[in-house]
A and B are shown apart, each in its own frame.
Chain A
Amino acid sequence: MTYVFAAYSIIFLGIFILAWSIVSRQKRLERKLEDLKEELRDSGRK
């Protein structure tokens, strides 16, 4: 049963890491968009 547990854990861990990387990319994009908005606002004021 140890090997069964290890196999399932590895598969779920892999999927979790993939999902986490997608979420972190999404958050980074949101931050970048905010920065771009700010840059555009600043250049509009000037």
Chain B
Amino acid sequence: MGKRILGISSVVLMIVALYLIFVYAGVDAAQGEPFRIFYFHVPVLLLSYLSAILLGSACIMFLYNAEAKWDRAGAVAAELGLVFGGTGLISGMMWAKPIWGKYWVWWDVRLNLQLILVLTFAAYLMLRAYLPNQEKRATLSCVFGLLALVNVPFNWLAIYFVPTLQHPKPVVSPGGGGTDPDMAIAFTCSLIAWCLTYSYLFSTRLAVAQVEQEVEYLEQVVRAS
């Protein structure tokens, strides 16, 4: 019941966010229409950081007490991280082309760190897919989970400490320039909508992962008897 409410409210809020982004919020004076990409690009990438934090924390918990629920949570976080990080990265490229004139700038530290984060999620999932032994799989894949966690602070702080003319600083940061109230409302609504969507997808996928493991165990019991 709670999950259904979460799903419905995320869809409703997403529709409201789209209205606010394309109708309510005005066009950015400096960047024009491509600025609208940020309303989705930023929340999606923030949720990819959250995925990395959840994955890393789940790996630490698994290495600490070897409970299967942490392994499942880590795997789900990695799946969501791959999708959110990957789509965030590509949507950023769609913004970069009209603003920078190219899809990718190889010397931008944040872009490269984000690419590494997405590849870390992919490596984590690929390793899991190729290892049949459940315990070995969970322990070995933790290496990539911890790497994802380590990536986040560097990724987050890269634009503050590495001089770059390319990547814009967050508008709410010191020296970021501030934002128009209409744009702030649209962005906040989008952020909440994406957080709800993420929570819904995470909880649903986690429930499926738990049943998957139980069915796998039942299969072994039935075949053995």
The judgment on whether A and B are partners is yes
- Choose among B34, B80, B84, B88 the residue that contacts A4 (Cβ–Cβ < 8 A): B34
Bound form: Cα–Cα A3–B37 in Å: 8
Please, how many angstroms separate the alpha-carbon atoms of A15 and B95 in the complex?
A: 19
Whether B79 and A4, one on each chain, are in contact in the complex, defined by CB atoms closer than 8 angstroms, is no
Tell me the nearest residue of chain B to A18, going by C-beta.
B83
**Chain B residues, CB < 8 A from A40:** 222
Provide the residues of chain B in CB contact with A39, threshold 8 Å.
Answer: 222
Say yes or no: A11 contacts B208, CB within 8 Å.
Answer: no
Closest to B218 in A: A36
Could you give, for residues 95-128 of chain B, a 1 whenever the CB lies within 8 Å of some chain A CB and a 0 otherwise? Answer: 1011000000000000000000000000000000
B interface residue count range (under 10 / 10 to 19 / 20 to 34 / 35 or more): 20 to 34
Main secondary structure of the interface of B (DSSP, over half): helix
Among A1, A6, A14, A36, contact of B83 (Cβ-Cβ < 8 Å):
A14
A3 touches B94 (CB 8 A): yes
Judge if B86 is at the interface, Cβ distance under 8 Å. yes
What are the 9 A-B residue pairs with the smallest beta carbon separation, nearest first?
A14-B87, A7-B94, A7-B91, A7-B37, A11-B87, A3-B94, A18-B83, A14-B83, A10-B90
